[in-house]
C-alpha cells in the first residue's frame, strides 16, 4: 500500500508543480479556479474564445498562468486546444471543463402560472440553434476536449478531470434557468459518469461539481478582478438558499483544488453540489405550485 500523505493542510491539498488546464478561464468561476491553482504553485493554462479577455486575466493572475485562445464549441476547436497544450507539456495533471453558455429565453413572461404566457414562452422562446449551441459547448466540448487530452492525462501520476455543471441539472428553476441550459447541464452530469467509467482502465478520475449562483458573466457584469454586479433574478435566486447569498470565489476554488490534491485522490465519479443550500428550495419555491388545500 502506498505511503499516505501528511495530514498537514499544505500537504493534503497541495497542487504545487501540477500542470492544469481550465477552459473558460478568462472570467467568472473559471478565472477564480485558474488563480486558485496558480497562487498555489501550479502551472496553469486558460482557454477561451476572446484573446483580450484571456490576456487581461493572465496579466492579473501572474506568471504561472498561460493563455491558449480556442473554442470548445467544435470538435476541431477542441483538437487544436489539445495540440497547443501538447507543444508545451508532456503531461496534464488536471483538466477543469468550466467553459459554458446559457442561452436565455427569447420570449418573456410575467406570470409563470399563466397558461397563455407559458405557451408563448415555450413556443417562441427557444430556437433550434439555442439547443445546438448549448449542447455543443456544454456537452460536446467537454467530451471532445477530454478525449483529445487523454495522451497527456495518462502520463500524469494522478490524472483527474473536473466537470463544472450546475444545479440546473436537477432543480426546477422556472424564473431563473433556461430550458437549453438545464438540459445540457443534465446531459454533462451523465457524460461525466460515462467518462469516469470509460477512463477507469487508465486510472483517470472524473468528478463533477454543480455550482449554485456564483457571480460571473453569466449572472451579471464584471466590476473587478473577481467581482461582479449580478442581475436581479440571480440575486433573488441566491437569497433563496440556506446561505442567503451568492457564492464567493474561494467557495468554488476550494472543492476543485480538493479534487486535484492528495486529499481528493480517492474520489472518482463523485458529484458535489456547491450551492449554499439552493437545491433544498428549488422545487419548493420554483416548481409547480398547487392550491394549499391539495394536501388536506
Three-state DSSP class for residue 43: strand
How many other β-carbons are positioned within 10 Å of the β-carbon of residue 56? 16
Alpha-carbon distances of 39 from 5, 251, 252, rounded to whole Å:
21, 16, 15
Q: Which of 263, 90, 259 is nearest to 164 (CA)?
A: 259
Angle between helices 141-148 and 179-198 (to 10 degrees): 30
Pairing of strands 228-230, 220-222: antiparallel
Q: Is 295 tagged catalytic? A: no
Out of 143, 181, 228, 266, the active site residue is: 181
Supply 172's cell numbers.
426546477
CA atoms within 13 A on the CB side of 219: 25
**Residue 160 CA neighbour count, 13 Å, CB half:** 23
Q: Which residue has the cell 489539445?
A: 82
CA-based torsion, 152, 155, 39, 230: positive or negative: positive
Residues 228 and 221: beta-carbon distance below 8 Å: yes
How is residue 41 written as a grid cell?
A: 504553485
CA distance 256 to 146: 17
Give catalytic residues, as residue numbers. Answer: 181
Amino acid at each position: 500500500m502506498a505511503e499516505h500523505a501528511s495530514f498537514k493542510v499544505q500537504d493534503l491539498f497541495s497542487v504545487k508543480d501540477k500542470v492544469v488546464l481550465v477552459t473558460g478561464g478568462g472570467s467568472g468561476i473559471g478565472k477564480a479556479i485558474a488563480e486558485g491553482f496558480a497562487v498555489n504553485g501550479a502551472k496553469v493554462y486558460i482557454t477561451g474564445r476572446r484573446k483580450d479577455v484571456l490576456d487581461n486575466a493572465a496579466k492579473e493572475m501572474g506568471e504561472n498562468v498561460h493563455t491558449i485562445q480556442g473554442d470548445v464549441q467544435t470538435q476541431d476547436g477542441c483538437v487544436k486546444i489539445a495540440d497547443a497544450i501538447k507543444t508545451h507539456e508532456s503531461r496534464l495533471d488536471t483538466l477543469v471543463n468550466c467553459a459554458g453558455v446559457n442561452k436565455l429565453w427569447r420570449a418573456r413572461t410575467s406570470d409563470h402560472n399563466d397558461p397563455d404566457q407559458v405557451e408563448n414562452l415555450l413556443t417562441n422562446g427557444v430556437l433550434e440553434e439555442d439547443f445546438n449551441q448549448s449542447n455543443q459547448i456544454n456537452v460536446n466540448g467537454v467530451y471532445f476536449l477530454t478525449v483529445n487530452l487523454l495522451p497527456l492525462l495518462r502520463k500524469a501520476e494522478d490524472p483527474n478531470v473536473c466537470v463544472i455543471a450546475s444545479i440546473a441539472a436537477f432543480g426546477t428553476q422556472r424564473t431563473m434557468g433556461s430550458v437549453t441550459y438545464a438540459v445540457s447541464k443534465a446531459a454533462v452530469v451523465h457524460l461525466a459518469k460515462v467518462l469516469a467509467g470509460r477512463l477507469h482502465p487508465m486510472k483517470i478520475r472524473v468528478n463533477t461539481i454543480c455550482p449554485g449562483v456564483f457571480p460571473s458573466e453569466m449572472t451579471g457584469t464584471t466590476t473587478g478582478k473577481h467581482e461582479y454586479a449580478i442581475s436581479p433574478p440571480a440575486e433573488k435566486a441566491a437569497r433563496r438558499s440556506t446561505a442567503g447569498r451568492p457564492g464567493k470565489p474561494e467557495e468554488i476554488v476550494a472543492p476543485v483544488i480538493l479534487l486535484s490534491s492528495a486529499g481528493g485522490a480517492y474520489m472518482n465519479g463523485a458529484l458535489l453540489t456547491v450551492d449554499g443550500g439552493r437545491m433544498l428550495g428549488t422545487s419548493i419555491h420554483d416548481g409547480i405550485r398547487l392550491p394549499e388545500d391539495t394536501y388536506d
